[in-house]
Amino acid sequence: MNVLVINCGSSSLKYQVLDMRTESMLAKGLVERIGIEGSVIIHEKTGDSEKFKLEVPMANHTEAIAHVLEAITNPEHGVVKSMDEIGAVGHRVVHAGEKYCSSVVITPDVIKALEECIQLAPLHNPPNLAGIAACKALMPNTPMVGVFDTAYHQTMPPESYIYAIPYEYYEKYRIRRYGFHGTSHKYVAERAAEILGKNIKDLKLITCHLGNGASVTAIKNGKSIDTSMGFTPLEGLVMGTRSGDIDPAISTFISDKENLKPGEINDILNKKSGVLGISGVSSDFRDLETAAEDGNERAILALKVFAHKVRFYIGAYIAEMNGVDAIIFTAGVGENDIGMRDIICSELENLGIKIDLLKNKVRGKETILSADDSRIKIMLIPTNEELMIARDTFNLCK
């Protein structure tokens, strides 16, 4: 069966077509500037040296999906003869609240449940739902599956997810920690178990998804028991532009001093903070490292603060799980930033964590980075959220 994976943002859309007999990617693509002037689709057929690019107005997600379907069935750069050859569609959906702890076939009831979660993810769930509606309109007979960023963390125990604020806010508004990046944490954890030749149920893992958005998860016996993101993706690690954990009193303090509204504070904490906020240089770690090499003190500080927070969570999760068997790095920074992995893993020998600096000189390739005498394995595993979505979709629709 071929599966189409759709990841719909507010003005962009990523897609992949996978052949599930071999789990190989047949094509992938990106639509940008949906609903904005200059809409464009960039489509890449696996094995083709040239990408297909078309600039054409796309007023909404339905028009964008129509172009995606055209691209994947196109006689020249397409990968299927007709849409009949797409057996199912898997949709990435950010927030399923407490409703789903695993992927589900999308029914009218599921759509209703996801609409109820819009208040929890007002920026993310509406475009995800728009993508589902667009596919439903254009491929009414193809089964669809929702794969949720929050689902994997639904196994967290209450002591991990309850905030110490009046309990009525949990009861009234479902304010609790949810966690995100679940598909990625699950993928790399399962892959780590495979590489180590162990049953995931016998392992304690710490997965570090370090991208522009970043989170760390403690996985005990195959289940997420804690993760650094919370009610929203703002909590936890320092990120590209997000503050991560801060004293909540800072919000009201800045609001008073600068005469800012709650929405403006939210914007500052989500878009102007993190390593960008500290450095004033960039949210991109490559730029920060270049600036740091040139002696930029604030870029150096931003990198140190980022590493400090990752180490902080690793230590906390080792305590929570009473040990760890492997620490896994993934996503843009985790897969590519050799220097950052060095700093995060340095001087942890007393915990049994010893990185091999030579083995660590690698980017984007599954590798064991720890020294042979390191009690705890350190691993680099590139994430593959699309494959995970396609797997869940295939398993629910085959």
Minimum gap (Å) between residue 286 Cβ and ligand ADP: 5
Minimum gap (Å) between residue 331 Cβ and ligand ADP: 4
Verify binding: residue 333, ligand ADP, rule CB under 6 A: yes
Catalytic-role residue among 19, 109, 149, 342 = 149
Kindly tell me the burial class for residue 150, based on how many C-beta atoms sit within 10 Å of its own C-beta (0-12, 13-18, 19 or more).
buried
Minimum gap (Å) between residue 95 Cβ and ligand ADP: 16
Long-range contacts of range 242-251, CB-CB < 8 Å, 24 or more positions apart? 242/213, 242/269, 242/270, 242/271, 242/273, 242/274, 243/269, 243/270, 243/273, 243/274, 243/277, 244/274, 244/309, 245/309
Cβ distance 328 to 198 under 8 Å?
Answer: no
* Reduced 3-state DSSP string for 95-132: CCCCCCCCCEECCHHHHHHHHHHHHCCCCCHHHHHHHH
* Reduced 3-state DSSP string for 323-377: CCCEEEEEHHHHHHCHHHHHHHHCCEHHHCECECCCCCCCCCCCEECECCCCCEE
Verify binding: residue 211, ligand ADP, rule CB under 6 A: yes
Verify binding: residue 125, ligand ADP, rule CB under 6 A: no
- Taking CB under 6 A as the criterion, the residue among 53, 201, 286, 398 binding ligand ADP is 286
Minimum gap (Å) between residue 360 Cβ and ligand ADP: 13
Cβ proximity to ligand ADP, 227 vs 336, nearer residue:
336
Cβ proximity to ligand ADP, 329 vs 394, nearer residue:
329
Cβ proximity to ligand ADP, 29 vs 240, nearer residue:
240
Cβ proximity to ligand ADP, 85 vs 284, nearer residue:
284
Verify binding: residue 336, ligand ADP, rule CB under 6 A: yes
Verify binding: residue 78, ligand ADP, rule CB under 6 A: no
Contact string (CB under 6 A) for ligand ADP, positions 292-331, x = contact:
---------------------------------------x
Contact string (CB under 6 A) for ligand ADP, positions 163-202, x = contact:
----------------------------------------
The H or E element that residue 87 is part of is strand 86-93
Verify binding: residue 375, ligand ADP, rule CB under 6 A: no
CB-based closest residue to ligand ADP: 332
CA distance 300 to 288: 8
Verify binding: residue 212, ligand ADP, rule CB under 6 A: yes
How many residues make contact with ligand ADP (CB under 6 A)? 12
Minimum gap (Å) between residue 214 Cβ and ligand ADP: 8
CA distance 217 to 227: 4
Cβ distance 19 to 2 under 8 Å?
Answer: yes
CA distance 138 to 141: 9
247 in active site: no
At residue 165, what are phi and psi to the nearest 5 degrees?
Answer: -125, 170
* 19: helix, strand or coil: strand
Minimum gap (Å) between residue 338 Cβ and ligand ADP: 8
Span of 45-53, 106-114, 284-292, 309-317 interacting with ligand ADP by CB under 6 A: 284-292
Minimum gap (Å) between residue 77 Cβ and ligand ADP: 25
Verify binding: residue 213, ligand ADP, rule CB under 6 A: yes
Long-range contacts of range 259-267, CB-CB < 8 Å, 24 or more positions apart? none
Residues in a beta bridge with 53: 42
Distance of CA 226 to the CA centre of its chain: 16
Q: What is the largest CA-CA distance in the chain?
A: 61
Q: Hey, what are 198's tokens?
A: 């162990």
- Taking CB under 6 A as the criterion, the residue among 90, 97, 131, 332 binding ligand ADP is 332
- Taking CB under 6 A as the criterion, the residue among 161, 180, 285, 306 binding ligand ADP is 285
Q: Which residues form the interface with ligand ADP (CB under 6 A)?
A: 211-213, 240, 284-286, 331-333, 336-337
Catalytic positions: 149
